[in-house]
């Protein structure tokens, strides 16, 4: 069993406009609403790839029925605590003229200490049979600094994958020692406060976390590919040439692919190849639809990994 944790789920609304005119009326050409939240995204990808997975978390009571229905449609196992407030909506504005994607993300409902302690007890019970636990996504208002770190310490004994940035990443790396961290390049730069422009500097930055207790690190770099770093080796995989429809959720798909790879290969460096294929398959879908399994299977043999 794999468990993903999603403390701030959402509805992902994707709208297409010809071009985005700031301060002007913009006409939407079409729109779609998908299930959202990074922990849910990872679970959906893992489920579509055939893994036994569940997602646990908290959500606002207003909109909970609709979000639950979307998870049920995916046949995804889930346990969520409802709290006062609304399930947030994150807006992705896609400009067909080539201006990229503009994201407008709501903060989510405010959590109280009793909500966090209640979820911690749920998590300890729900993950008893889980080999791997994924903690990812933004934290809602009310979560104190170190929330992920305290959760990981409460779930000691499990392999934890962490996808976050800044102080949360620093605290978890130092005090809770994740099995794997997966920041993207921007997040790694923001966390360390430095620019990383070469593979050597990216490797050295990741090794800072390896030296304080992280076992494996994967840094995704968008069109430049991705790197895997451990104390023993560094691997690089260039990005695959695919038709890009949306990059939203590609990092979550990458984690889902690595979960499958680890289950098959029992080795995280070998699982890296599966993550590259899953991330590339994700960008081939529109909005936040995440992944089609046949796309992933077709891309897997195209992944080229080299040691650097």
Give the CB-side neighbour count of residue 57, counting CA atoms within 13 A.
38
* Amino acid 165: pLDDT: 93
Pairing of strands 10-17, 2-6: unpaired
Domain ranges of the chain: 2-18+30-307
Is 30 an active-site residue?
A: no
* β partners of residue 217: 181, 229
* Fold classification of 2-18+30-307 (topology level): 3.40.1190
Alpha-carbon distances, residue 137 vs 54, 111, 128 (angstroms): 16, 15, 22
Alpha-carbon distances, residue 175 vs 15, 35, 128, 133, 199 (angstroms): 41, 32, 22, 17, 27
Q: Is the pLDDT confidence value at 132 over 90?
A: yes
- Mean pLDDT, the chain, as a whole number? 93
CA distance 109 to 115: 11
Q: Which of 252, 269, 295, 301 is catalytic?
A: 252
Mean pLDDT of 209-218: 96
Read off the pLDDT band of 287 (50, 70, 90).
low
Q: Is the pLDDT confidence value at 248 over 80?
A: no
Give Cβ neighbours of residue 65 (< 8 Å, ≥ 6 apart). Answer: none
106: phi then psi, degrees, rounded to nearest 5: -80, 160
Q: Give the Cβ contact number of residue 98 at 10 Å.
A: 6
Read off the pLDDT band of 247 (50, 70, 90).
confident
* Amino acid 10: pLDDT: 95
* pTM score of the predicted model: 0.93
Mean pLDDT of 267-285: 93
72: phi then psi, degrees, rounded to nearest 5: -65, -35
Mean pLDDT of 268-272: 96
């Amino acid at each position: 069993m794999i468990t993903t944790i999603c403390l701030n789920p959402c509805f992902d609304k994707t709208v297409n406009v010809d071009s985005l005119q700031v301060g002007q009326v913009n006409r939407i050409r079409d729109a779609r609403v998908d299930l959202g939240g990074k922990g849910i995204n990872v679970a959906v990808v893992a489920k579509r790839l055939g893994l036994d997975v569940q997602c646990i978390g908290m959500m606002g009571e207003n909109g909970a029925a609709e979000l639950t229905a979307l998870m049920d449609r995916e046949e995804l196992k889930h346990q969520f605590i409802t709290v006062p407030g609304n399930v947030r909506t994150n807006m992705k504005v896609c400009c067909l003229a080539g201006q990229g994607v503009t994201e407008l993300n709501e903060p989510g409902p405010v959590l109280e200490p009793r909500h966090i302690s209640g979820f911690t007890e749920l998590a300890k019970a729900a993950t008893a049979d889980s080999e791997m636990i994924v903690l990812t996504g933004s934290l809602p208002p009310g979560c104190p600094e170190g929330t992920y770190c305290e959760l990981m310490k409460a779930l000691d004994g499990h392999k934890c994958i962490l996808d976050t940035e800044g102080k949360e990443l620093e605290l978890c790396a130092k005090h809770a020692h994740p099995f794997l961290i997966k920041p993207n390049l921007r997040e790694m730069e923001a966390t360390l406060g430095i620019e990383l422009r070469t593979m050597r500097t990216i490797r050295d930055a990741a090794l800072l976390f390896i030296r304080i207790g992280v076992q494996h690190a994967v840094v995704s770099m968008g069109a430049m590919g991705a790197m895997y770093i451990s104390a023993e080796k560094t691997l690089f995989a260039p990005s695959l040439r695919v038709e890009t429809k949306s990059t939203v959720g590609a990092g979550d798909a990458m984690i889902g692919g690595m979960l499958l790879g680890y289950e098959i290969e029992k080795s995280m460096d070998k699982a890296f190849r599966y993550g590259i294929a899953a991330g590339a398959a994700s960008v081939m879908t529109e909005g936040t639809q995440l992944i089609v399994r046949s796309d992933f299977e077709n891309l897997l043999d195209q992944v080229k990994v080299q040691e650097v």
